[in-house]
Chains A and B, each alone.
Chain A
Amino acid sequence: MKLKVPVNSYEASVKQIEAGADEIYMGLEDFHFNRMSYSARAQIASSGVHANLTEADFAKSVQFAHSKNVTVNFTANCQHITKSEGDFYRKNFLEYVRRGISLGADAVIVADIGNLIALRKNGIDTPVIAGSYLNCFNSETVALLKDLGVFRICIPDQVTFNEIKSIKKNTCLEIEIFVGYGCSNLAGMCRFYHNSGEQIHVGVPCRAKFIRNNEESVSIMDACPDCAICSIPKLYDLGIDSLKLIGREMNIEEIVNITKMYKSAIQQYAMEGRFDRKEIISSISWWENEMCCERCKYEDTCLLRSYI
């Protein structure tokens, strides 16, 4: 079971790989945009963090990753390619993908049916991962994506352990799931786009507080599943191929600590056949307070019991 983690600079690549990443994923800056990008994160997030890498940093990151037997996933997971004059927009997108591949990416993450088809039509045969924006909630969607030639599916946040088990049983494709911070809304169907290039501070809109029916102020939309530490043993036993953390738009130091924590959980279980939750989460002082109260992704908590 691989641990796949985000990077947003060469330094971040080194830190994440040293922290135990088996796979890294990253996007490339693109001169066609000022703030947006062909990846699911803007070149510049509203926090000011550069979420994608320059070509030079990308190439160095690939080289370092490969020297440590770490694979590189390239983010081409935008949803916004539409018809344009002379098809320049799709052509630029394909050029972006080719650049990433020529710089050494091992696989491409795609999140739009049109882009998936266009890649193959244009002779790009690099392995493709179906991103979570493709909303793969069931085995029929897996079958469709298999027909379109992907080798791995990234299952969205809000899918239960038993559902993942069922999906996995019905397919030969690799399965990737999220283990870190998650979304309240179904990511591929959410219109509160953030970290997309906006120059305003919208925060994380689904975690905002609202006055409900002119009375109390509550974070009524907050249904974020943010942690899967306790589920590592059963995910390992199930044979999940890859566990994904998010955070290209965040301070990478914070993400590195989370990477270390998940890596130690996986290693402890894989090597010693045991799992000491207390010991694992003690590496991040605030984790228990923030996460161990109904933020589980795959355990039977109130959040999961509210799933339709």
Chain B
Amino acid sequence: MTTYEMRIDRLNFNTDINYDNIQAFSIGHESCILKFFKVIRNNELLKFIDKEKNLGKQIRIITPFIPERHLAEIKDVLAEINNIKCFHNSVIIVNDLGLMHYIHKMNENRQLCLGRNLLACFDYAPWGHRIYESEDLHIQKAVSQVSLYDDEKMDFFKKYNVTETEADVTKRTVKSLKEIQKSGFRVNIYKSSFTYGLQRSCYIKRYNIDQGCSGMECEYSEKLDLDELWCGAEFYKEQENINFPSPLYIRGNQIYGRAHDIPCDWADSIIISPEQNNTYKGADI
């Protein structure tokens, strides 16, 4: 049966409402280490997940890519987490291969889930089919499968006790995701967003260098509509339909668009964000 996983990746997460329709909570951040630290150390949020854990909900931890300068601190946080009761047996979602390596070294029984940022596929590009449309059909099929659908990689990740993967979904990637599921991985699908890229630079700080980072500046996303493309020396208007996702959203160091509207009743879990809580009561998957 498909379950619902609510993402807690912002400090203003509403801890007062009823989450009866949610079976799991994942706390942390998938792209920003600074936001991760702030969320995972927030007492109100920790109290909330402790309460939910006592109600039988699953508590998971979502981690981003780890720049070297934050490596020591994330190791400290992981050590702290080991001592927090509500995180016992929590699956850790990793978006960094080095962190996966480290966690497994520390505790080989810790269950891990691959974050969606570690999956590649040409079909994830907005103009994906335009990349491979000139190729033979058997090539088209292979390159529109998600990169994890490969025996070498699946065996490799199983050795790290990776038992699940997150994924974005497009029409053409469904089949390979189902095959990954058949190979023994749980597959958890994003219905809240579709990621297009991550940056090391936070645009809020880029636009205002005096801006501090309290963790509140990036609680909400900004909407972006394509105006002009850039190529080498100049900007130009879109000359043909390149299927650019519109609108796009930017939030901190994350660029994303709307998730594709694809039935996902086959998925093990649907990942949703707080603002979607009212629209996902189980009927719309």
Contacts and interface: CB of A to CB of B under 8 A. Distances in A.
Contact of A137 (B66, B206, B244): B66
A29 interface: no
Contact of A140 (B71, B134, B179): B71
B113 interface: no
A198 B127 contact: yes
Contacts of A24: none
A140 B248 CA distance: 33
B152 A217 contact: no
B130 A200 contact: yes
B85 interface: no
Interface stretch (A97-105, A207-215, A266-274): A207-215
Contact-residue bracket for chain A:
35 or more
B239 A211 contact: no
A188 B118 CA distance: 8
Contact of B209 (A79, A196, A305): A305
Interface string B7-46: 0000000000000000000000000111000000000000
Contacts of B152: 90, 113-115, 117-118, 121
Given A88-B138, A308-B202, A208 B197 contact: no
A50 to B, nearest CB: 15
Interface in B187-217: 195-203, 205-207, 209
Contact of A221 (B118, B130, B199, B242): B199
Name A's interface SS: loop
A302 B206 contact: yes
Nearest to B148: A82
A279 B65 CA distance: 39
Contact-residue bracket for chain B:
35 or more
Contacts of A90: 150, 152
Interface string B119-137: 0111011111011111110
A89 B143 CA distance: 10
Interface stretch (A2-10, A14-22, A67-75, A157-165): A157-165
A172 interface: no
Nearest to A162: B69
A35 B142 contact: no
Interface in B228-246: 228-232, 235-236, 239-240, 242, 244
A137 B63 CA distance: 14
22 contacts: A36-B139, A79-B120, A80-B147, A81-B147, A81-B150, A82-B150, A113-B97, A114-B150, A117-B156, A137-B65, A158-B200, A189-B65, A193-B125, A202-B244, A208-B226, A211-B224, A212-B223, A213-B222, A223-B206, A306-B206, A308-B33, A308-B200
Interface of B: 32-34, 65-69, 71, 95-102, 117-118, 120-122, 124-128, 130-136, 138-139, 141-143, 145-147, 149-153, 156, 176, 179, 195-203, 205-207, 209, 222-232, 235-236, 239-240, 242, 244, 248, 250, 252-253, 255
